Structure 1
């Protein structure tokens, strides 16, 4: 109780008969910053509870809040550059390399959707997939979770030579930063670094949103196509975007 009140939320949780009602009230406010703070506090309260029960740790209210601040520090609003990145249109990968495009989007205020598409050097669909819902997390953590989800999926499919593109500048910058911290984001990125050791060829690039349109559409419509995997095809409604990418790619060298 003291943690919630001492946090920037200043919530008196004793006014709520159950955690379920507290959480419903938070979600009904539809304020992203409040949801992010609440989710982060819940995670840290759960973590410190485990430390107290199983590691003889101590509960220090200030430490719990400091850890929450540390986790949220990199979670500034996600930057999606329309004029940044290196490519304005989707470009074909080199032969024998599979290009992965991934994106995340908040869906219906209830969670986030993930979308990914894998294509070969001819622009042909190898696999496309969606995932929904995933837990409410700060925006950058959601993007990083989509990164990890994509890596695990293509590993299961046996792809060994891949290049991955994201339109999330912060995720790309975090990947380029080789320092290791204690935030939840650092944990996800560390997982991804372990996963990429599986691949014979791997690279991560930052691109403009306009060259990530298929993955963006799948993420935004993940609630309609929940937890689907398409092999060598995509839903008919996406095929037009795929065709446009192939046409545009004729003007772009790999």
Structure 2
């Protein structure tokens, strides 16, 4: 039975016990209005019909979509309208809603925050806000909105956040007086693998891109590969890393350093604990593969120093698979030359730097 706020005042935050979860909630990468709505959902203090009637404020009886009891849990998770929206959204971002374990919105939201990736947390906040908006439009007799329309708005909003909001946040924290990060070669005898992934949701696939370079900056191998299915960027990054390690083992390399611009995945790989997120199985595979090398390390790098891998991943939009061996990859020629020129202070000028041809 779903626990309810019987006094009509919503639920307390219990800050001492849930301080970490509250921090996670406010750190979600979403607009402030959506985080405030999420906070009010968790507290059960939105003006739902149930709450209005408890305060003796005139309100419609029942849900405006299905005429059932419109408590907060019903509005956002159990209403057929909300279920249609969630069913469409979760296939795009590999969400696990666990509605069968629902006891209260606070418990559900905190459980979701505890097991989800950053992008999935953003999707949750955006989806809840749009469901509330659609419900208000229906209640106020404005133009009716279908679940499909709401889903498309959510996907567009999340895509906008990924492309602009995250980038702006990093830009706001950057110090213009500091020099831009630059690519640097690995130590002698070690192979550096730069890796990245790109998700093309509209086309229904994602691309992986990676390249192997030695201590002289020589590009030994570069690959881009398209894989079908829509997934979250974080999952695509993890799949790319797993593919990189398998390729490096097949190539016979034993000392590698893998660089990715996906901080969350790198942190999960470096963590000694068990990864209980949706990417836990991938993280486990990566850790097992890493034991097959004499020396294998992982590091987070800035996007600007991972540009070559990023461009390779983007190439998957046009071509399904390319393997560049003993040839300069044309799509990343300029980036490779730029990386080498920027690292000239690290690579000895006496050494002749060249590509395999």
Alignment TM-score > 0.5, same fold:
yes
For 1:228, what is the secondary structure of its paired residue? strand
C-alpha distance in 1, partners of 2:345/2:81?
A: 51
Matched, 1:74 2:117: yes
Deviation for aligned residue 1:70: 7.1
Gap runs ≥5 in structure 2: 1-76, 103-107, 123-161, 349-357
| Greater alpha carbon shift after TM alignment, 224-233 vs 162-171 | 224-233
Give the counterpart of 1:11 among 83, 107, 117. 83
Gap runs ≥5 in structure 1: 14-22, 27-32, 46-59
**1:159 match:** 253
Deviation for aligned residue 1:120: 0.7
- Alpha-carbon distance change, 244 to 73 in structure 1, aligned in 2, over 3 angstroms: same
Instruction: Compare CA radii of gyration and give the structure with the larger one.
Output: 2
Deviation for aligned residue 1:211: 0.6
Work out which structure has the larger RCO, using CA pairs closer than 8 Å and 6 or more positions apart in sequence: 1
For 2:117, what is the secondary structure of its paired residue? coil
Aligned positions of 1:46-195 closer than 5 A:
61-62=100-101, 69=112, 73-76=116-119, 83=174, 88-107=181-200, 109=202, 110-195=204-289
Deviation for aligned residue 1:217: 0.4
Deviation for aligned residue 1:184: 3.1
Q: Contact 1:114–1:130 at 8 Å: present in 2 too? A: yes
Deviation for aligned residue 1:232: 2.9
**1:199 match:** 293
Give the counterpart of 2:305 among 201, 205, 211. 211
Q: Contact 1:71–1:185 at 8 Å: present in 2 too? A: no
Deviation for aligned residue 1:130: 0.9
Deviation for aligned residue 1:160: 1.0
C-alpha distance in 1, partners of 2:183/2:92?
A: 32
- Alpha-carbon distance change, 237 to 139 in structure 1, aligned in 2, over 3 angstroms: closer
- Alpha-carbon distance change, 251 to 108 in structure 1, aligned in 2, over 3 angstroms: farther
**2:92 match:** 36
Q: Contact 1:87–1:207 at 8 Å: present in 2 too? A: no
State the TM-score, normalized to the length of structure 2.
Answer: 0.52
Deviation for aligned residue 1:100: 0.2
State the TM-score, normalized to the length of structure 1.
Answer: 0.71
C-alpha distance in 2, partners of 1:241/1:12?
A: 44
C-alpha distance in 2, partners of 1:156/1:210?
A: 28
For 2:83, what is the secondary structure of its paired residue? coil
**1:16 match:** none
Aligned residues: 217
- Alpha-carbon distance change, 7 to 236 in structure 1, aligned in 2, over 3 angstroms: farther
Q: Select the structure that is richer in strand.
A: 1
- Alpha-carbon distance change, 233 to 223 in structure 1, aligned in 2, over 3 angstroms: same
- Alpha-carbon distance change, 211 to 144 in structure 1, aligned in 2, over 3 angstroms: same
C-alpha distance in 1, partners of 2:79/2:330?
A: 48
